[in-house]
Amino acid sequence: MTDAHPETPTILSPTAEAPVEGLPPGFGEGIAGKAAFLIAIAFSIFQIYIAAYGNLPSQVVRAMHVGFLLLLGFALIANLHAKSVPAKAVFWGLGVLGFATGLYNWVFYTDLIRRSGFLTTPDLIVGTVLVVLVFEAARRLMGLPLALIALIFLAYAFFGNHLPPPFIHRGYDFAQLVDTFAFGTEGIYGTPVYVSAAYIFIFVVFAAFLERAGMIALFNDFALGLVGSWRGGPAQVCVLSSALMGTISGSGVANVVASGQFTIPLMKRFGFRPAFAGAVEATSSMGGQIMPPVMGAVAFIMAETLNIPYAEVVKAAIIPAMLYFGACFWQVHLEAGKADLHGMAKADLPNPWDAVRRHWPLVLPLAVLVYLLFAGYTPIFAGTMGLALTIVLILGTPLAALIGPLAFRIVFWLALGLAAASFMRFGVNILSLVIAVLIVACFAFKGGRETLLICVDSLAEGAKNALPVGIACAIVGIVIGTLTLTGIASTFIGWIISIGENNLFLSLLLTMLTCLVLGMGIPTIPNYIITSSLAGPALLSLGVPLVVSHMFVFYFGIMADLTPPVALAAFAAAPMARESGLKIGIQATKLAVAGFVVPFMAVYTPALMLQDAGPIAAQFGYPVEVAYIVAKACMGIVLWGAAAVGFLARRMAWWERFVAFAAGALLVAALPLTDEAGWALSLVWIGWHCWRARQASATA
What is the mean pLDDT of the segment spanning 634-643?
Answer: 89
Confidence bin at 574 (pLDDT 50/70/90): confident
- Of 146-155, 286-295, 584-593, the one with minimum mean pLDDT is 286-295
What pLDDT score does 105 carry? 93
What pLDDT score does 136 carry? 93
Report pLDDT digits (tens) over 185-231: 888 998 888 888 887 788 888 878 887 777 777 877 888 888 878 88
**Euclidean distance between CA atoms 148 and 185, whole angstroms:** 22
What pLDDT score does 521 carry? 58
The winner for highest mean pLDDT among 72-76, 233-237, 498-502, 528-532 is: 72-76
Q: Is the pTM of this model over 0.85?
A: no
- Mean of the per-residue pLDDT values of the chain: 82
Report pLDDT digits (tens) over 70-129: 999 999 999 998 888 999 999 999 999 999 999 999 999 999 888 877 889 999 999 999
What is the mean pLDDT of the segment spanning 43-68?
Answer: 90
What pLDDT score does 501 carry? 64
Check: CB of residue 399 under 8 Å from CB of residue 440. no
Burial of 581 (0-12, 13-18, 19+ CB in 10 A): buried
Confidence bin at 341 (pLDDT 50/70/90): confident
**Euclidean distance between CA atoms 145 and 426, whole angstroms:** 49
Check: CB of residue 543 under 8 Å from CB of residue 587. no
What pLDDT score does 10 carry? 39
Report pLDDT digits (tens) over 274-288: 888 888 888 888 887
Q: Using the predicted structure, report yes or no on whether residue 586 has a pLDDT greater than 70.
A: yes
Helix, strand, coil percentages (3-state) for the chain, rounded to 5, are 80, 0, 20
Give percent of the chain above pLDDT 70. Answer: 92
- Of 156-165, 266-275, 649-658, 664-673, the one with minimum mean pLDDT is 664-673
Report pLDDT digits (tens) over 350-380: 788 887 777 777 778 878 887 887 777 777 7
- What does the domain layout of the chain look like in residue ranges? 30-185, 616-699
Q: Is the pLDDT higher at 239 or at 134?
A: 134
Among candidate residues 365, 394, 362, the one with its CA nearest the CA of residue 382: 365
What pLDDT score does 36 carry? 94
In sequence order, the β-bridge partners of residue 20 are 23
Q: Would you tell me how many other CB atoms lie within 10 Å of the CB of residue 428?
A: 16
What is the mean pLDDT of the segment spanning 653-660?
Answer: 89
Q: Using the predicted structure, report yes or no on whether residue 56 has a pLDDT greater than 50.
A: yes
What pLDDT score does 251 carry? 58
Q: Is the pLDDT higher at 693 or at 567?
A: 693
